[in-house]
């Protein structure tokens, strides 16, 4: 938004044209991005935030600045409209869901051959708008001055009265920008009995365009529903000065004032025979009456952290054209109808703060805060440190995933979809952190980094059958590639399932693993549940084949995911005395059923609690159909014995081994393998 300082000074005096002006604008929230010095003027380029549509005009900027200069604005130059008519024969039907308020100004026998005054041409040029002809230039000039867009139709080129309606399939418009647009269904348009004469609030048709020969005109001054204009602009990939303002909201109550400004300029620079004004409104569809916001002095002081007087608050808000009433301890405030950004008391706090100036607030230290979940956060930090020491790197991914992506692995009812996603690839909340880790791996793999060990701490989200939304804390990791870089003297070994299992055991030595086939995220032939204190707290394994297809990646990837809230780590660490006496190791090689899991053997022996047995380890698994049947395998076990009080005798250990062997023969039909 480009603003002429000379133009500003016509409404605001005294206006000092120095460096402080730009500083004042920026501190007020009207950020100055560029200043252009001309011979007799200065052009300030403002970055207006989308919520401040009231400042998309010279008068709007002056209206905001007057609070700092503590002065009243000079009135706009207007010519009072005398004749008013409730009906206009040129308007047939208005769809008020498109335009709750639609005003028309009909002018007969206008002299449009008069040259546009130099001051209007120059100011339009400074704002980046080209001169067309007198009437069009006046309408553009008035739009820049007060922020209300206009559009004019040549009455002699219209085929009957106009309608404000939604478009139908097959309709089109030859626009003023010399482009042909095929209209989508339900586009808000303005049409006569034969043709589309404008896409409402966006652009007009060249079939009713104003030229120097135009004599009879119909000037449109409307309030269009912002969402509809925004959708049209997006659909047709077109943004005009008019749509830029309509889609942010214009003052629905200022139509007469706006048209009186136009009439004044026409009266000053040209001549005409007669005019007629009419307006059509549906008050139920307009939001012109702003609701009253209730707050109090304590809330202002608490939020702003500033001892501020009630009279100061009232003065600032009143200068911004808010209606302020004091009722005991309550402050009742009604915002002006052109302030679409004001909806609650926090907006009022911001208004007062920006006028005072954020630079005038003292810096305050944050109060001490005790985090009730400090223990949990401490454990999360501990996990992070432990995984880093194991060679992992921490990553942070978005909690969103593309629409339909998770339906390959999860039930649709459990996925939480975002109503208004920030982009198409961030439509659903993640149920698992595994997809995000795989995408991080793919990003690095495509940049020639195939070996990775990464993890992420975060939350996952899902809903149950009753649509209750649940969030869980999760810790997930991924490994792929090899355990060393390319080297001439060292062979690299690719990561496998046992590497990720070993990493987990090194960090959580009390966990156990149980083979499963039910997790859709993982390969059915390589997946396991992670068990802690008898509860399933996560899973690990190779990723599903579907992931390889979706992400177009070839290297084998192994992952794990732990739900850390299920880990009870609040118990203190108990230290145990180490025996000073020597350990005795014995080995057993057994013939077992091929389908028997090795972990089941260890679980069986641990439940019996042999007196001197302190550790069991599987050292070898061997298959050989020549020495034993195809349904059998050889498993070698190492047993470690130790006593806390004395050195064990060989006979004591032998007795323990014999009892173990008898138990295994009886329970799992084990046979001692012949040497």
d(Cα 51, Cα 286) in Å, to the nearest integer? Answer: 18
Start and end residues for every CATH 3.50.40.10 domain found in the chain: 84-281
549: Cα separation from own chain's centroid: 28
Q: Identify the pLDDT of residue 595.
A: 86
Start and end residues for every CATH 3.30.56.10 domain found in the chain: 2-69, 293-329+341-359
* CATH domain 293-329+341-359 topology: Phenylalanyl-tRNA Synthetase; Chain B, domain 1 (3.30.56)
143: Cα separation from own chain's centroid: 33
Whether the predicted pLDDT of 287 surpasses 60: no
Rg (CA), the chain: 39
pLDDT in tens, 615-655: 998 888 888 878 888 888 999 999 999 999 999 999 999 99
Lowest mean pLDDT among 32-36, 275-279, 373-377: 373-377
Mean pLDDT of the chain: 89
Looking at the chain, the whole-number percentage of residues with pLDDT higher than 70 is: 93
Strand (E) positions, 413-521?
428-429, 452-463, 469-480, 512-515
| Buried-exposed string 309-327: b where 16+ CB fall within 10 A, e elsewhere | eeeebbbbbebbbbebeee
Give start and end residues of each alpha helix (H) in 468-597.
Answer: 497-507, 545-551
Residue 232: band (very low, low, confident or very high) from pLDDT cuts 50, 70, 90: very high
Whether the predicted pLDDT of 286 surpasses 80: no
Q: Identify the pLDDT of residue 351.
A: 94
Looking at the chain, the whole-number percentage of residues with pLDDT higher than 90 is: 63
Q: Identify the pLDDT of residue 375.
A: 47
Taking a C-beta distance cutoff of 8 angstroms, is the pair 529, 511 a contact?
no
Taking a C-beta distance cutoff of 8 angstroms, is the pair 168, 135 a contact?
no
Q: How far is CA 485 from CA 73, 450, 452, 492, 496, in A?
A: 73, 10, 11, 7, 16
Query: Domain spanning 374-566: which superfamily?
Result: Bira Bifunctional Protein; Domain 2 (3.30.930.10)
Q: Sign (positive/negative) of CA torsion 76, 354, 304, 315?
A: negative
Angle of CA points 231, 45, 132, to nearest 5°: 65
Residue 108: band (very low, low, confident or very high) from pLDDT cuts 50, 70, 90: very high
Rounded to an integer, the average pLDDT of 28-49 is 89
Q: Identify the pLDDT of residue 266.
A: 95
pTM of the model: 0.61
pLDDT in tens, 189-231: 999 999 999 999 999 999 999 999 999 999 999 999 999 999 9
Angle of CA points 406, 410, 412, to nearest 5°: 85
Whether the predicted pLDDT of 255 surpasses 50: yes
Q: How far is CA 598 from CA 230, 413, 602, 621, in A?
A: 65, 38, 7, 9
Query: Domain spanning 84-281: which superfamily?
Result: Phenylalanyl-trna Synthetase, Chain B, domain 3 (3.50.40.10)
Phi and psi at residue 393, in whole multiples of 5°? -120, 140
Which among 483, 488, 495, 472 has a CA at the least distance from the CA of 564?
472
User: Residue 541: how many CB atoms within 10 A of its CB?
Assistant: 24
Question: What is 584-672's CATH number, 3.40.50.300, 3.30.70.380, 1.10.150.120, 3.20.20.10?
Answer: 3.30.70.380
Q: Identify the pLDDT of residue 87.
A: 65
Question: What is 2-69's CATH number, 3.40.50.720, 3.20.20.70, 3.40.190.10, 3.30.56.10?
Answer: 3.30.56.10
636 contact partners, CB below 8 Å, separation of at least 6: 587, 588, 589, 590, 618, 619, 620, 621, 622
Start and end residues for every CATH 3.30.70.380 domain found in the chain: 584-672
């Amino acid at each position: 938004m480009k603003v002429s300082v000379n133009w500003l000074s016509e409404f605001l005096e005294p206006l000092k044209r120095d460096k402080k002006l730009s500083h004042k604008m920026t501190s007020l929230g009207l950020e100055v991005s560029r200043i252009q010095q001309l011979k007799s003027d200065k052009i300030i380029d403002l970055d207006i935030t989308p919520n401040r549509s009231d400042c998309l005009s010279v008068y709007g900027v002056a209206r905001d600045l007057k609070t700092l200069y503590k002065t009243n604005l000079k009135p706009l130059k207007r010519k009072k409209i005398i004749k008013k008519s409730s009906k206009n024969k040129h308007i047939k039907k208005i769809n008020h869901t498109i335009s709750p308020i639609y005003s028309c100004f009909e002018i007969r026998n206008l002299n449009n051959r008069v040259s546009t005054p130099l001051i209007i041409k120059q100011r339009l040029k400074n704002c980046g708008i080209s001169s067309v002809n007198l009437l069009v230039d006046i309408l553009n000039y008035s739009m820049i001055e007060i922020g209300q867009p206009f559009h004019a139709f040549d009455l002699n080129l219209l085929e009957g009265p106009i309608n404000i309606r939604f478009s139908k399939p097959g309709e089109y418009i030859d626009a003023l920008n010399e482009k042909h647009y095929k209209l989508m269904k339900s586009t808000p348009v303005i049409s006569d009995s034969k043709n589309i004469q404008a896409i409402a609030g966006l652009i007009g048709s060249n079939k009713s365009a104003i030229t120097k020969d135009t004599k009879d005109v119909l000037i449109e001054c409307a309030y269009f529903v912002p969402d509809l204009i925004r959708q049209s602009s997006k659909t047709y990939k077109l943004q005009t000065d008019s749509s830029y303002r309509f889609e942010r909201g214009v003052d629905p109550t200022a139509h007469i004032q706006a048209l009186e400004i136009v009439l004044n300029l026409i009266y000053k620079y040209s001549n005409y025979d007669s005019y007629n004004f009419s307006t059509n409104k549906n008050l139920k569809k307009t939001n012109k009456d702003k609701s009253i916001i209730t707050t109090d002095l304590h809330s202002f002081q608490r939020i702003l952290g500033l001892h501020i007087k009630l009279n100061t608050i009232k003065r600032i808000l009143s200068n911004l054209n808010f209606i302020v009433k004091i009722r005991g301890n309550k402050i009742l405030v009604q915002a002006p109808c052109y302030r679409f950004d004001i909806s609650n008391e926090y907006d009022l706090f911001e208004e007062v703060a920006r006028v005072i100036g954020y630079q005038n607030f003292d810096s305050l230290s944050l109060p001490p805060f005790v985090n009730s979940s400090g223990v949990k956060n401490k454990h999360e930090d501990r996990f992070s440190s432990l995984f880093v020491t194991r060679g992992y790197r921490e990553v942070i991914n978005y909690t969103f995933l593309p629409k339909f992506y998770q339906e390959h692995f999860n039930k649709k009812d459990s996925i939480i979809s975002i109503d208004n996603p920030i982009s198409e690839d961030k439509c659903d909340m993640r149920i698992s952190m595994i997809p995000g880790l795989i995408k991080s791996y793919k990003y690095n793999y495509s940049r020639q980094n195939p070996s990775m060990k990464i993890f992420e701490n975060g939350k996952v989200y899902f809903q149950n059958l009753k649509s209750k939304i649940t969030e869980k804390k999760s810790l997930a990791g991924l490994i792929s590639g090899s355990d060393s870089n390319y080297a001439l003297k060292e062979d690299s070994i690719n990561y496998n399932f046992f590497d990720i299992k070993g990493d987990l055991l090194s960090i959580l030595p009390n966990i156990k693993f149980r083979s499963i086939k039910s997790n859709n995220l993982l390969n059915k032939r390589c997946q396991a549940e992670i068990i802690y204190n008898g509860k399933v707290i996560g899973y690990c394994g190779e990723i599903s084949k579907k992931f390889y297809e979706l992400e177009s990646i070839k290297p084998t990837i192994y992952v794990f995911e732990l739900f850390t809230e299920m880990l009870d780590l609040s118990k203190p660490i108990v230290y145990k005395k180490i025996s000073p006496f020597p350990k005795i190791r014995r080995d057993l090689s057994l013939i077992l059923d091929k389908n028997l899991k090795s972990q089941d053997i260890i679980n069986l022996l641990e439940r019996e609690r042999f007196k001197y047995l302190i550790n069991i380890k599987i050292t070898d698994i061997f298959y050989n159909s020549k020495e034993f049947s195809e349904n059998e395998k050889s498993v070698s076990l190492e047993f470690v014995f130790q006593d806390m009080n004395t050195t064990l005798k060989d006979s004591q250990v032998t007795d323990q081994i014999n009892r173990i062997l008898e138990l295994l023969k009886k329970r799992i039909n084990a046979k001692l393998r012949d040497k």
